Structure 1
Amino acid sequence: MESMMPLQRGGTLLPGAAMLGMGVLVVVPVAFVLLQAVFPGAAQADWAQPLAHWRQVWQDTAMAQLLGNTVSLGVWVVLGCLLLGLPLGLLRGLGHLPGSALWDLCFLVPFMVPPYIAAMGWILLLQPAGYLQQATGHHAAGLLFSVPGVVLVMVLNLFPVVYFAVSRAAAAASGRLAVVARVCGASPWQALWRVTLPLTLPALAASGLLVFAMTIEEYGTPAVLASNVGFAVLVTAIEQRLSDWPIDLPGAALLSLVLMLLAVLAYVGQRRLMAGRGYESTDGKPQALHRAALGVWRLPVLLLFAAVAVCATLLPLLAIAATAFTGTLSGGLAWDNWTLRHFRSILGAGSEALQALGTSFALALAAALLVGVFGALVAYCSVRLRTRTALALDVLSVLPNAMPGIVVAVGLILAWNQPWLPVTPYNTWLILLLAYACLLLPYPIRYANAALQQVSVQLESAARVHGASLWQMLARVVAPLLAPSVAAAMLLVFAIASRELVASLLLAPTGVQTVSVYVWRQFEQGSVGEGMAMSLIAIGLTALLVLLAARLAPRPGH
């Protein structure tokens, strides 16, 4: 009972505020998606004929094709990421890899490049008259604008999920045990198959499911590449139903529900694998990492890492940078075509780009502050309470992980675009803030939760016993201890919110542009140079903030 004393003395104000906030941010959009999916006339307050449109939708061959395309794309991208990330992760975790920190940084860069920008970089590189043809006389448009091309681009963007999971699991769990197996007479291949791979299997499977969820939620790459070959997926079909006239709200809600269920299944599977299929391989004492010498394989391994780094990181970045610094695409990579006019244009006083940059920074800052404070509150109530409220908060706090951005956008449109509402955030910048907060809330909750697990409740109880009020205890004891973790999470929230695409496209009010919306519009209008110049600024900012967040994040045991 002692662990509940600080909150018990504070009454129900904090848990009530946490539940109210979670209701507005998470429950409302999900509830309205479900409501619209069940009642096709919900937007007009017509509650007749529930599920009337379900049979029509499911009997449509296009629906089966959408579902099949979405699942098959997810499966193929997972297989590609496993094929690429597994060997690289094992080599990184088990071998003495020269420049290992540099390779980690190279493979972290794809996370910092928004997928739709990376896809545009590949188009500029491989299209007819693109940079590859200018350099070699050949292009690869046939490969790029195809389903295998979409899979390849997404694999190069997402394989680091598998790489980092496998490398950390292999280094932490199996290096020493593999050495023991070798001492006991096992060959290198036997040690790999019987020790290393079984120990890394949970991390491998969990990362594969995470890649599946990220693939089916991604809008930018399928919209940029797959649409050119008639390969529609759920996320692009939802956006089309909301942007093309006549607007199909019931259809968008039903497709959103299907997409969310797929993401929930992947996320639940990932959680179960990580929670219930682990293997104990350490005894709590510090253990030296046992990494094998690469020997004659050193050069081939380095060449392999270099080839992947060039394809996944260097080539798309070079295409983005070349476009940002050249005057015209037709002018090519000639010296007289190099210019800074795109940067001067977007950074000029009063430019649309500068306004978009300011809007994105303001919204990202507001989202970081909102979810930082509120996420810490939710984490505190979840950890310190032992009631059904804490359980409900815990469940609601992980739900946004399984909510694609387009589902959140659909839910917010349905919830706040009701004619009977006296006041609504719809068609204002507040609707974007709600979307960002819902999508990014898990970051501060996860960071604060981990920090609170290391804080003894006796510190809070001692403060209350010595006369501190609940608010004094929170301000002088809890907040300083959570500050480093929450600050790191807020930096990540700022970086991700400033580049979010699909929710911004659907929810941005008329006349309001964020960085991602501005870049997307520039691509649509053919002003690729200015779009890529803005992209470079966004990538640089994201990289800086992610690295800063990594430095601020507390290390295990500290």
Structure 2
Amino acid sequence: MKANGISGAAPAAWLATLGLVLVVAVPFAAIVLQAIFPQIGQGSFAAPFSQFYTALGDSALLAMSRNTLILGFSVVLLSALLAVPLGVCRALYKVPFAAFWDVVLLVPFMIPPYIATLGWIMTLQPRGYLQQLAGFNMAPVLFSLFGMTFVMAMNTFPVVYFAVSRTVEAVGSRYADIGRVFGASPARAFWRITLPLSAPGLAGSLMLVFAAAIEEYGTPAALGGRTKFQVLVTGIDLRVSDWPIDLPGAAILSIVLVAMSLITFLLQRWILARRSYETTGGKPQNKDKRPLGALNIPVLIAFAVVAFLATGVPLLAILATASSKTISGGLTLGNLGFNNFLAVFKDSAGALQALGNSIALGVGTALLTGLIGVLAAYTTVKTRYRGRMLLDIMTILPNALPGIVVAVGLILAWNMPGLPFTPYNTGLILLLAYCCLLLPQPVRYTTAAFQQIGDNLEAAARVCGASSFTAFRRIMLPLVFPSLAASMLLVFAVASRELVASVVVAPVGMQTIATFIWRQFEQGSIGLGMAMAFITIVITTLLPLCVIGLMRRVSVIQD
């Protein structure tokens, strides 16, 4: 029996296939079937495609699609305007406190977008913190297309910043200097040499920003309602949450949104694979960075302003609201206290139960996606299993499935007539939703790790009499475990605060962190919601860091 033959890989392949079908294929297939057969929920396949003609000719769908694209491109443009200059300066010049700015600009990843949006609402709304401190009422700006674009860009531009800074740093300035020797101006050398060499990283990050923008629910739902700026995500939510329920319409809108996301993802892969530039010198680039000179103070101010807007304003607004005894009391010392934090730990409105539910779901999601991910990655990279290409496609598909689409797919799939069992209206439905959304993380990490491991180790184990399971458990799994553990920590951090699927498919009476915060805002208990938000940020930031530190200490002791 060959080490990487079909028979040796069969258990891992079948387990991975079963997991991927349950987590990914079932909800996606349910959406497609519901869109094609509008009466499938009643067990009928009559009138196929009949809703397509109505929906695709609906002016509301066209308006939502247009708004979605406008919002996505606007966020991409503003993210690029903010991130590219800062990233280039960070890569090529000696920026004061560079490491500090990197850490500060990493914080927006730790703040869920909907929580950051709520922080901006508290800051810029009428009688908000800005008006209390400076007398400005910026509510008309916030509740507009520009306001949504600005808030979303503050959350997504770090993706571009880190991609540009690392890519341009790897390219270096030597090739631009050669262009300068041949008469090119600094601007021309940058546009014709440095930027093309950095294009793959820049294009890939901008595509990720666009995909994140068109899939985001919290910001358009919180800011777009007042201006009637409805996008596909909010339109889908409206069709599955308001009476009369329109499941075929929600399915068709979901397919349109999936098509946008899929095109973005495929375009990103095409750019990275086909439109890359390579250097042929073979020499390492000179990493010595140049002084900024007269631009030292302006660049420092630019970093400080952007960092304050992206990190400082949301965090300060969250902390100020959480520390306020009453919102009407404003920013006064007498109105500050820890009442809201104490209320969370006293389980007010079910806060501790929501916290426990989210932590349990986060741990469960990390374990399940880690198991499916490592088995799927092993099957696609290290075996000759005939269905490995199909497995690979199923692991990629969640990249193009927004959270609202996954939620709709699960509703449709597990409410089909004749099912002997359904996880709908139980905590299991949330676990399935989180796993579908976050499965690509473990797959991506472990695939890269498996690709770096040669076949000789596993083959040697098989020659010495080890079974395929023993070789996998004793050799392959320990080698990829660091990458797997890192991805599982990321999954835990994201799953424990996920909003969209939680709002749509959470069982009646079951709260998670995200639904608790969202409902406290809807009910007017803003301080309690913000206290939970601050605690969430602390937990989802510190817990993974503590686990990483513990793993490093154990590794040092073992060495």
| Same topology, TM > 0.5 | yes
Count of residues paired in the alignment: 552
Give, in whole Å, the separation in 1 of the partners of 2:356 and 2:544.
20
Q: Per-residue displacement from partner, 1:476-514 (whole Å, max 9, x unpaired)? A: 101111111111111000000001001011111111101
Structure 1 SS opposite 2:498: coil
Report the CA distance between 1:198 and its aligned residue.
1.1
Alignment of 1:327-406 (within 5 A): 327-348=325-346, 352-406=350-404
Q: Which residue of 203, 206, 212 maps to 1:205?
A: 203
Give, in whole Å, the separation in 2 of the partners of 1:273 and 1:224.
34
Question: Aligned pair in 2 of structure 1 residues 89, 549: CA closer, same or farther (>3 Å)?
Answer: farther
Q: Is the 8 A contact 2:4 2:383 kept in 1?
A: no
Q: Is residue 233 from structure 1 mapped to residue 234 from structure 2 by the alignment?
A: no
Q: Is the 8 A contact 1:9 1:470 kept in 2?
A: no
Give, in whole Å, the separation in 1 of the partners of 2:441 and 2:538.
21
Question: Aligned pair in 2 of structure 1 residues 230, 454: CA closer, same or farther (>3 Å)?
Answer: same
Structure 1 SS opposite 2:45: coil
Q: Which residue of 178, 187, 191 maps to 2:176?
A: 178
Partner of 1:450: 448
Partner of 2:121: 123
Q: Per-residue displacement from partner, 1:124-168 (whole Å, max 9, x unpaired)? A: 101111111111122101101111111111111111111111111
TM-score, normalising length from structure 2?
0.95
Q: Which residue of 63, 66, 71 maps to 2:64?
A: 66
Give, in whole Å, the separation in 1 of the partners of 2:265 and 2:492.
24
Report the CA distance between 1:542 and its aligned residue.
2.4
Question: Aligned pair in 2 of structure 1 residues 249, 363: CA closer, same or farther (>3 Å)?
Answer: same
Structure 1 SS opposite 2:21: helix
Alignment of 1:147-166 (within 5 A): 147-166=145-164
Give, in whole Å, the separation in 2 of the partners of 1:317 and 1:160.
16
Q: Is the 8 A contact 2:27 2:413 kept in 1?
A: yes
Q: Is the 8 A contact 2:148 2:219 kept in 1?
A: yes
Alignment of 1:354-503 (within 5 A): 354-503=352-501
Partner of 1:80: 78
TM-score, normalising length from structure 1?
0.95
The letter for the 1-side match of 2:174 is: R
Give, in whole Å, the separation in 2 of the partners of 1:467 and 1:185.
67
Partner of 2:245: 247
Task: Among all aligned residue pairs of Structure 1 and Structure 2, give the percentage whose two residues are the same amino acid.
Answer: 53
Give, in whole Å, the separation in 2 of the partners of 1:388 and 1:549.
38
Report the CA distance between 1:329 and its aligned residue.
1.2
Partner of 2:48: 50
Q: Is the 8 A contact 2:10 2:385 kept in 1?
A: no
The letter for the 2-side match of 1:421 is: L
Structure 1 stretch 386-395 or stretch 374-383: which is displaced more?
386-395
Alignment of 1:283-298 (within 5 A): 286-298=284-296
Report the CA distance between 1:207 and its aligned residue.
1.6
Partner of 1:92: 90
Give, in whole Å, the separation in 1 of the partners of 2:48 and 2:163.
44
Report the CA distance between 1:274 and its aligned residue.
1.0
Partner of 1:326: 324
Structure 1 stretch 189-198 or stretch 422-431: which is displaced more?
189-198
Give, in whole Å, the separation in 1 of the partners of 2:174 and 2:393.
37
Structure 1 stretch 453-462 or stretch 489-498: which is displaced more?
453-462
Q: Which residue of 519, 523, 526 maps to 2:524?
A: 526
Structure 2 SS opposite 1:47: coil
Give, in whole Å, the separation in 2 of the partners of 1:457 and 1:302.
50
Question: Aligned pair in 2 of structure 1 residues 77, 15: CA closer, same or farther (>3 Å)?
Answer: same
The letter for the 1-side match of 2:120 is: W
Q: Is residue 189 from structure 1 mapped to residue 196 from structure 2 by the alignment?
A: no
Q: Is the 8 A contact 1:342 1:529 kept in 2?
A: yes
Structure 1 stretch 542-551 or stretch 140-149: which is displaced more?
542-551
Structure 1 stretch 95-104 or stretch 507-516: which is displaced more?
95-104
Q: Is the 8 A contact 1:94 1:175 kept in 2?
A: yes
Report the CA distance between 1:54 and its aligned residue.
1.5
Q: Is the 8 A contact 2:5 2:385 kept in 1?
A: no
The letter for the 2-side match of 1:414 is: L
Report the CA distance between 1:176 and its aligned residue.
3.0
Q: Is the 8 A contact 2:9 2:379 kept in 1?
A: no
Partner of 1:34: 32
Question: Aligned pair in 2 of structure 1 residues 471, 260: CA closer, same or farther (>3 Å)?
Answer: same
Give, in whole Å, the separation in 2 of the partners of 1:495 and 1:453.
26
Question: Aligned pair in 2 of structure 1 residues 426, 476: CA closer, same or farther (>3 Å)?
Answer: same
Alignment of 1:267-278 (within 5 A): 267-278=265-276
Q: Is the 8 A contact 1:484 1:552 kept in 2?
A: no
Q: Is the 8 A contact 2:458 2:475 kept in 1?
A: yes
Partner of 2:309: 311
Q: Is the 8 A contact 1:174 1:195 kept in 2?
A: no
Q: Is the 8 A contact 1:427 1:510 kept in 2?
A: yes
Q: Is the 8 A contact 1:179 1:290 kept in 2?
A: no
Question: Aligned pair in 2 of structure 1 residues 553, 260: CA closer, same or farther (>3 Å)?
Answer: farther
Structure 1 stretch 286-295 or stretch 413-422: which is displaced more?
286-295
Q: Is the 8 A contact 1:40 1:52 kept in 2?
A: yes
Q: Is the 8 A contact 1:174 1:281 kept in 2?
A: no
Q: Is the 8 A contact 1:175 1:290 kept in 2?
A: no
Give, in whole Å, the separation in 1 of the partners of 2:543 and 2:165.
24
Structure 1 stretch 543-552 or stretch 469-478: which is displaced more?
543-552
Is there any run of 5+ residues in structure 2 with no aligned partner, and where?
553-559
Question: Aligned pair in 2 of structure 1 residues 31, 466: CA closer, same or farther (>3 Å)?
Answer: same
Q: Is the 8 A contact 2:15 2:372 kept in 1?
A: no
Give, in whole Å, the separation in 1 of the partners of 2:430 and 2:281.
47
Q: Which residue of 272, 294, 300 maps to 1:302?
A: 300
Give, in whole Å, the separation in 2 of the partners of 1:211 and 1:550.
28
Is there any run of 5+ residues in structure 1 with no aligned partner, and where?
none
Give, in whole Å, the separation in 2 of the partners of 1:176 and 1:320.
45
